[in-house]
Amino acid sequence: MSMLLTAYRAATALAAPVIAHHLRGRLRRGKEDAARFTERLGQPSRPRPAGPLVWMHAASVGESLSMLPLIDALKQRHPEISVLITSGTVTSAGLLAERLPAGTCHQYVPVDRMPYVTAFLDHWRPDLALWAESEFWPNLLTLSAARGLPMVLVNGRVSPESFAKWRRWPGFARRILGCFDLCLAQAERDAERLRALGAANVVTAGNLKFAVPPLPVDAAELERFTGMLGGRPCWLAASTHPGEEEMIWAAHRRIAERHPGLLSVIVPRHPERGAGIATQLEALGARVARRSAGQPISVETDIYLADSIGEMGLFFRAAPVSFMGKSLVDLGGQNPIEPARPGSAVLFGPHMWNFPDVTRELVDAEAAETVTDPEDLAARVSALLGDAAMRDTRAANALAVAEAHSAVLGRVLDHLEPMIAAIADTGDGA
């Protein structure tokens, strides 16, 4: 065992009171699920299903969405296999509760302390573990591997920042990544970084986010919302993060000069920020209606704050132009394929390092544009709102890029099939 892993385990043991205090704080702030809080302590809220069990871990909403097509395809091929998916956020749990197929259940991932992890593994006894992207919890990984659990990194990625951090502790990185029997990387640059950090058996399979189908929508609610718009020009700022809402308001004022009656829809990545965002924007002079409070859109409304969960598909379809947040602030961006599939023209800021390959491909295909600041955002939204032919061309180009990569799901399944077939034949949860 590496010295850093030993130190990490000792630290998580000694820090039990601090961790408990931190969790209580998150509970008070609504960042933990009060009704299912004990799951975070490794205590299950439901029995383990009989037969073979695949455990998938997805950190939050984006990772969970990318795993849903994989779950559906796996269940179609092997209906006898049950699936457990874990995540760490209330928002992802709500999304999964609506979309998981039969034979699949969700639990909150245990906090990375050895007693919690041990209790979790003792109860669920998975036969195969699939980890999404890049959330590497040392105790959860190493204790799982120590039990001989086959493990696969799915849709693996390593950002430049994470790569630099892991390079400082090469032995620790090798120990953690050595837990995976197979690493399926999103892109070749991710594969190269994984190999450099000590991962073995690395394959570039493609980005599963391309396999995510169009986000669902309630047709009746879409009709109702479109009726509320009353023909007003409308655009969407999706998955915004702190610091971006003020920029959206600045852009709104400029766009409204060319498009009177403009309605700007803001969907914050974390809906619990809704009240604070509304207060902030109202102090700047915006007239805001909050969806979570049931406030209607009036002719005076400037900003519709859609602080709800699981309705992004509605707003991507209602808005002909969508800006993807987390990109005007230096946080790496959100998945730009999500608005492309429902047919919205795509814009994003300069900080898209979470999605470098798809960003470049969309721009090269004239399927999306990068904006540099609120003024540039306002100019591009104004141009798109005023040119339906340009919007349609951009949306069609973006959909073509997404469809060109739709085979990624089949490639991932082909790589996983030997392991899945093995547990389908022999897995019994023992």
Tell me: the pLDDT tens digits for 70-87? 999 999 999 999 999 999
Q: Where, residue-wise, is CATH 3.40.50.11720 in the chain?
A: 3-207+407-426
pTM comes to: 0.79
**Which amino acid makes up residue 98?**
E
Q: Which of 63, 133, 245, 338 is catalytic?
A: 63
Residue 119 has pLDDT above 70, yes or no: yes
Alpha-carbon span 173 to 4, nearest angstrom:
10
d(CA 407, CA 210): 9
Rg, C-alpha atoms of the chain: 22
Annotation: CATH topology of 3-207+407-426? Rossmann fold (3.40.50)
| Residues 299-338: b if buried by 16+ CB within 10 A, e if exposed | eebbbbbbbbbbbbbbbbbbbbbbbbbbbbbebbbbbbbb
Q: Check residues 323 and 405 and name the one with the higher pLDDT.
A: 323
11: pLDDT confidence band, cut at 50, 70 and 90?
Answer: very high
Tell me the range of 2-6, 265-269, 333-337 where mean pLDDT is highest: 265-269
**pLDDT 10s digits, 306-361:** 999 889 999 999 999 999 999 999 999 998 989 988 889 999 999 998 888 889 99
**pLDDT at site 430:** 43
User: Between these two residues, 428 and 424, which has the higher pLDDT value?
Assistant: 424
CB 368 within 8 A of CB 336: yes
Q: pLDDT grade, residue 1 (50/70/90)?
A: low
Asked if residue 30 has pLDDT above 60, the reply is yes
- Under a CB-based contact definition with an 8 Å cutoff, are residues 96 and 87 in contact? yes
Task: Compute φ and ψ for 310, nearest 5 degrees.
Answer: 80, 20
3-state class (DSSP) for residue 235: strand
219-404, CATH topology level: Rossmann fold (3.40.50)
User: How many CA atoms, within 13 angstroms, populate the side-chain half-sphere of residue 139?
Assistant: 22
The segment(s) of the chain belonging to CATH 3.40.50.2000 are: 219-404
Asked if 39 is an active-site residue, the reply is no
Task: Please check whether residue 108 is in contact with residue 6, taking contact to mean a CB–CB distance below 8 angstroms.
Answer: no
End-to-end CA distance of the chain: 26
Asked if 288 contacts 281 with a C-beta cutoff of 8 angstroms, the reply is yes
Distance, CA of 140 to CA of 131 (rounded, Å): 11
Q: Which long-range contacts does 114-122 make (Cβ < 8 Å, 24+ apart)?
A: 114/9, 114/12, 114/13, 114/139, 114/143, 115/42, 116/40, 116/41, 116/42, 117/42, 117/143, 117/144, 118/42, 118/143, 119/41, 119/42, 119/43, 120/42, 120/44, 121/147, 121/149
3-class DSSP assignment, residue 159: coil
